[in-house]
Amino acid sequence: MSETKNHLRLEDEFTFACHKGLKCYRSCCRDVTIFLTPYDVIRMKKALGLTSSEFLEQYTDMVIMPGRHLPMVQLRMNPEDNLQCYFLRPHGCAHYPHRPWACRMFPLDERFEGGYKVIPSPERCHGLVEGDQWKVKEWLMDQGATQSKEMDGSYDSFAAHEMLRELDITNEQIQKMIVTSIYDMDAFREFVFKSSFLNRFELEPELIEAIKVDDTVLLELGYAWARFGLFGQKSLKLKEGAEQGGVKK
């Protein structure tokens, strides 16, 4: 693979197609590591008609990666079906409009240093040889990857926070707070309305009404709560007389 394919910019071009006529069709949906963003979970659990708690339990695993400072949610492969994705069907993805960000990006991925790269080899992915010409920016727009990235903008800033390095993410209390606040929206909504949360924090009435029905608004509150509890930031305003609290590091 050329150096260009390992360092693509938005205006650069690459070759790709994915369709039933390719011998490799569906092979990329088997025995693959797919990490889900919070917005992926919201979108997929709605498509499946599940609560976020049910979706996380049935289809994902929480993973602690070496060198990473945030627990990650990984899409589970089906061990009873050749380790292929649970949502793979003969015609392709059963929930294609609601597929994760990583699937929308394929065959591209972001480079840590900036820009993009093509991740499979032409030997594995025939669409890199027999496909159409795409500009990177056109591909991202066509696949909805840009919109997904915008919806998960707060995730990137949260995951990059320097204070995460100081946390013991093997601590079950910390793991639970992170997963509940940014991945498990239905559990977080129950926590907000059935615990002392609303007695402790000042929230506008309009926000309280919005988080009853809107998971994306609730997710932003989840980030604020996690920043408050984990980093000690003033991302939420305590009511007069309420205790600071937080999570021990």
Is the pLDDT at 157 greater than 90? The verdict is no
CB-CB neighbours of 23 under 10 Å: 7
Candidates 26, 34, 31, 2; CA nearest to 125 is 26
Q: What is the pLDDT of residues 41-88, one digit of tens each?
A: 999 999 999 999 999 999 999 998 776 778 899 999 999 999 999 999
- Type of residue at 12: D
Q: What percent of the chain has pLDDT over 70?
A: 95
Nearest Cα residue to 199 out of 239, 236, 244, 234 = 239
pTM score: 0.90
pLDDT, residue 1, reads 39
Q: Token pair of 163, please?
A: 């204070």
Q: What pLDDT shows up at residue 163? A: 86
Residue 78: which region, alpha, beta or left (left: phi > 0; alpha: psi -120 to 50)?
Answer: beta
Look up residue 71 and give its amino acid. Answer: P
For 71, half-sphere exposure in the C-beta direction (CA atoms, 13 angstrom radius) is: 22
Question: 227, 158 in Cβ contact below 8 A?
Answer: yes
Amino acid, res. 114 = G
Rounded Cα distance between 233 and 164, Å, is 13
Q: What is the pLDDT of residue 245?
A: 56
Q: Is 67 exposed, middle or buried (0-12, 13-18, 19+ CB in 10 A)?
A: exposed
Residue pLDDT, tens place only, 190-221: 999 999 999 999 999 999 999 999 999 999 99
pLDDT of residue 145: 94
Residue ranges covered by each domain of the chain: 3-151, 153-231
Q: Give the rounded distance of the alpha carbon of 175 from its chain centre.
A: 16
- Please compute, for residue 120, the number of CA atoms within 13 A of its CA located in the half-sphere on the CB side: 21
Bigger pLDDT: 246 vs 229: 229
